[in-house]
Amino acid sequence: MGNQFKTATLLAALSGLLIAISYYVIGGTSGLVVGIGIAAFTNLLSWYQSDKIALAAYGAQPVTETQAPGLYRMVERLSQRANLPMPGVYIVSSPNPNAFATGRDPEHAAVAVTEGILNILPEDELEAVIAHELTHIANRDTLTQAVAATVAGAISFLAQMVSYGLWFGGGSRDDNNRGGNAFGVLLTVILAPISATLIQLAISRTREFSADAGAARLTGNPRALARALQRLESGARQAPMNNANPAFEPLLIINPFSGEFLGNLFRTHPSTEQRIEALLKLEQGVESR
């Protein structure tokens, strides 16, 4: 129930932001109706197509047991251990070492890893990363994250469209609506994408800690994930995924970008140091039993 409530809260906040943008940009009842329509369409799309949207955003390709036997069997073994249906297995053609899970529920889930992560992680660390992603599926975080990414992406797209309209259209609006439109344009172009990001931050960071803990329980080896996070952090700096859509960053196990100031200011993940510290504390608890 906790995750369902958080999903509903996130949907309501982001949907409200979309409706507010439309209201202030278009104005009056028409803007309200258009905003409600956009919000309803985006929510339904993200709810039923969240896995396809996320996988397409990163160009993930499905693989079979024949094509990637080691990876496939690892996902299958850990899924059985976690009492989860076997998710789809995907590989992303990118040197950036990363992984993510997506899908609206465990019956419609997928796990994707990059070529980069397959190249740098030993088996026990890759297993810990897969366990982290399966925990997201078990906790239904994948729906929350996919909905957040899709709606935030729609907000960013709307902001871009308004910006282009200002640039090419010159802002020829009715005098009666000029004040409202000016405020709406300011809200959309500057504040809306930032607000959408902050709403994502509110949930994403806590869910990463929870997934790390779940992975530690599933594998019985918290230190393997701690080592993997260290390796992934270093690898991400060497091969940042700068061409990825920032709206989908919360799905990934680690921040995929190069770490400029604004990237750090609006991080969707806890710091790697904090995550490792929490894992090592879990290890002490495991060893004391």
What pLDDT is stored for residue 7 in this prediction? 58
What pLDDT is stored for residue 188 in this prediction? 61
What pLDDT is stored for residue 159 in this prediction? 66
Backbone dihedral region for residue 259 (phi beyond 0: left; psi -120 to 50: alpha; all else: beta): left
What pLDDT is stored for residue 226 in this prediction? 97
Select which of 76, 125, 127, 133 is catalytic.
Answer: 133
Task: Write out the chain's pLDDT in tens, 289 residues.
Answer: 455 566 567 667 767 777 776 766 666 677 677 777 777 776 666 666 778 888 988 999 999 999 999 999 999 999 999 999 999 999 999 999 999 999 888 999 999 999 999 999 999 999 999 999 999 999 888 877 767 766 666 676 666 666 666 555 554 444 444 444 555 566 566 666 676 666 666 666 678 899 999 999 999 999 999 999 999 998 888 877 765 666 677 788 987 764 444 444 456 678 889 999 999 998 887 554 4
Question: In 186-204, which positions are buried (b, 16+ CB within 10 angstroms) versus exposed (e)?
Answer: ebbbeebbebbbebbbebb
3 state SS of 66: coil
136 class by beta-carbon count within 10 Å (0-12 exposed, 13-18 middle, 19+ buried): buried
Check: CB of residue 250 under 8 Å from CB of residue 268.
yes
Looking at this protein, which amino acid is placed at residue 235?
Answer: G
Structure tokens at 214: 């779940």
Is 115 catalytic? The answer is: no
Ranges of H-type helices in the chain: 2-26, 28-57, 69-81, 115-120, 123-138, 141-169, 178-186, 192-219, 222-238, 261-265, 272-287
d(CA 215, CA 224): 10
What pLDDT is stored for residue 70 in this prediction? 97
The whole-model pTM stands at: 0.75
Structure tokens at 235: 């690898």
For residue 59, how many other CB atoms are within 10 A of its CB? 13
